[in-house]
Amino acid sequence: MAKKLDKVDVVTVGVGWMGGIVAAELTKAGYKVVGLDKGKEKDIKDYLHTHDEVRYPVRGEGYEKLTNETYTVRNTLEEDARPIRDKSTAVIGEGIGGGGSHWGAQTHRYYPYDFEIRSKTIEKYGEEKIPENMTLQDWGITYDELEPYYDKFEKMAGISGEPDPNYPERSDDYPTPPLKKNRQMLLFEEAVKKMGYNPFVIPAGTLSEQYTNPDGETLNACQYCGFCGSNYCEYGAKADPVMTVIPTAQKTGNFELRTHARVIRVLHENGKAAGVLYEDTRTEQEFEQPADLVVLTSYVFNNVRLLLLSEIGKPYNPEDGTGVIGKNFTDHHGVTSSHGLFDNEKFNNYISTGAYGMAITDYTGDLLDHHDLDFLHGGQIEARITGNAPVANNIVPEGTPQWGKEFKEKSLFYANRFLMIFSQKATLPYREHYLDLDPTYTDANGDPLIRITWDYSDNDKAIHEFIQEKHIEILEEMGATHILAYPMPEHFSGGLAFQHNSGGVIMGEDPETSAVNSYLQTWDIDNLFVCGASAFPHFSCTNPTTTAAALTYRATEGMIEFLKNGGQLVEAKSQKNQV
């Protein structure tokens, strides 16, 4: 029997970036917020000894344990899904701060084209350019409407960067200057400028200098220590909810954080959320937490799963395209990467940060003409300095065996002579790609796991071919003596190298084709908001956190408005021209 607790104003399910932002903004506004997180508490004292390749990136300390629950994957509707079993292949943040405690902190904004992708594509190329089964949708918001919230996120997180010359002027500079350029970045910059591209230093939440944010939280200067992307930052130099929004919420006195609290259901009746049912993972004692406002902030998989388990919203049906919960799921791990080996250079490859490098966006969005191309959107090209941690980085020229004498010799020689060119590509949605509940596999409580049905599309493959040619041209211009251009895997395996998934609770203007409005308020239940990349109708080229956080900052204004006056914040529109 669940123990019923006293009602609070707001309850968040998960306390990572999105839950932290909601907690900070709502507690500052005077509301009582309870944050429930199924993982553990942590603070910077836990971060001091993390320069350990095996424990962090290889074994995945900081990732959620899969002992009790995971997700399942299949490529097509006809297949049986199999569970992802190995914890180290499922990069999902654990504990408070979630993935925000060990992210690479690459913080690009999405492009104006993204938010109106269907309209702009039709306007320029006609509707026939969009494949019949590609469920491309406008987001129900424009870049200009979201811009102030990008700025708000960047200032809270202290982002270090410089403007991307290809995209609209920013309303303000990045709060801190770009990271320092190393030898590899200078080589890339020189080469791509000669080729006519517009390089810029990748914006990053690993700060170039000490910074105090508008909430009064101080972040320190990055030390380029090389243990970043999967590690916690012992310097407090990485924007992390644990260092920013969570203490901001705690300082108000209005925030109560409960860890080891795994939410099982959203409770609702008569179209109104009553609160959530959760269990203490240590005792299995169940609690009912009533609240005026329920906010799901627990990554794509769990946001969708909780709605489906709680029977909220109409589940998506891939056969006829009806329903919304689970719709437009995309996976964004199908990156294109190429290595250049430089026999006559020796780099300090051991020096890096999580998102260290330079990028060009000349082949993103609609900056390139797609009339004669067999794909939509495109990919960013990055020279990424990812470090050369020795277990994971053994780069050898093509044709070299992967073990034995020659492997050892060459992997040692090239350890400081490689450079990676990397493309994150836009991943567009398809009718047959979605999330639902698995018919076979369950969690420790017997509730079905979330099931992914997804595979690489022709669009993904076409961008890959196109962009990898550019990688090769750039590496040649840079003087690489060997170029390793890695092919795309044939099928999606379900492993996550980082935490880039989106969709399933997508935003839009029409309740027939979207689950939430532009304030991330569900169409079905006014006092239920679902925050995170689950709201993206498609995945653009770059990392999701910045856009998810900007949408969440905007959503918090909607939540405050709702708590004052109630009701739907956006009037639903029926859009017959949407898929």
Q: Which sequence positions are flagged as catalytic?
A: 500
Q: Is 230 in the site for another protein (CB under 8 A)?
A: no
Output the smallest distance, CB 288 to another protein, in A: 28
Structure tokens at 242: 């644990």
Q: Decide if residue 45 touches another protein (CB under 8 A).
A: no
Contact 82/109 with Cβ under 8 angstroms? no
Return the exposure string of 555-575: e unless at least 16 CB atoms fall within 10 Å of the residue's CB, then b.
Answer: bbebbbebbeeeeebbeeeeb
> Closer CB to another protein, residue 271 or residue 401?
401
47 vs 244: CA distance, rounded Å: 15
Among 69, 138, 331, 510, binds another protein (CB under 8 A): 69
Q: Which of 120, 170, 181, 370 binds another protein (CB under 8 A)?
A: 181
Which region holds residue 354: left if phi is over 0, alpha if psi is between -120 and 50, else beta?
alpha
First to last CA, the chain: 44
How far apart are alpha carbons 210 and 224 in whole angstroms? 14
Q: Strand, coil or helix: what is 85? A: coil
Which one of residues 30, 54, 374, 573 is an interface residue with another protein (CB under 8 A)? Answer: 54
| Interface positions, 297-316, toward another protein (CB under 8 A) | none
Nearest approach, Cβ of residue 181 and another protein (Å): 7
- Helices within 205-289 (DSSP H only): 245-251
- List, in sequence order, every beta strand (DSSP E) within 332-410: 336-341, 357-360, 381-384
Q: Which segment (160-168, 326-334, 411-419, 495-503) binds another protein by CB under 8 A? A: 411-419
Q: Binder to another protein among 137, 289, 388, 499 (CB under 8 A)?
A: 388
Q: Is 83 in the site for another protein (CB under 8 A)?
A: yes
Q: Is 390 in the site for another protein (CB under 8 A)?
A: yes
Residue 125 C-alpha from the chain's centroid: 29
Which one of residues 12, 27, 70, 244 is an interface residue with another protein (CB under 8 A)? 70
Q: Give the H or E element holding residue 563.
A: helix 545-565
Are 33 and 24 spatial neighbours (Cβ–Cβ below 8 Å)? no
SS3 of residue 391 by DSSP: coil
Q: Is the CB of residue 27 less than 8 Å from the CB of residue 303?
A: no
Helix (H) or strand (E) holding 13: strand 8-13
Tell me which residue of 551, 565, 459 sits closest to 505, measured CA to CA.
551
52 binds another protein (CB under 8 A): yes
486 binds another protein (CB under 8 A): no
Write down the residue that tokens 């916690």 correspond to. 232
What span, in angstroms and rounded, lies between the C-alpha atoms of 164 and 171? 13
Interaction of residue 84 with another protein, rule CB under 8 A: yes
In the complex, the smallest distance separating the C-beta of residue 494 from another protein, rounded to whole angstroms, is 12
Q: Rule CB under 8 A: is residue 491 a binding residue for another protein?
A: no
320 to 349: interface string for another protein, x by CB under 8 A: --------------------------xxx-
Cβ distance to another protein smaller for residue 87 or 262: 87
Of the candidate residues 53, 114, 154, 217, the single one contacting another protein (CB under 8 A): 53
Question: Site mask, another protein, residues 438-477, x = CB under 8 A?
Answer: --xxx-----------------------------------
**Residue 412 CB, nearest distance to another protein (Å)?**
5
Q: Which of 28, 120, 129, 183 binds another protein (CB under 8 A)?
A: 183
Please compute Rg for the chain using Cα positions. Answer: 23
CA distances from 478 to 342, 420, 474, 482 (A): 9, 12, 6, 11
- Kindly tell me which residue out of 409, 465, 469, 490 binds another protein, with binding defined by CB under 8 A: 409
| Shortest Å, Cβ 339 to another protein | 16
Residues that bind another protein (CB under 8 A): 48-49, 51-54, 58-59, 65-67, 69-70, 80, 82-87, 180-183, 221-227, 234, 346-348, 350-351, 388-391, 394, 402-405, 408-409, 411-412, 415-416, 440-442
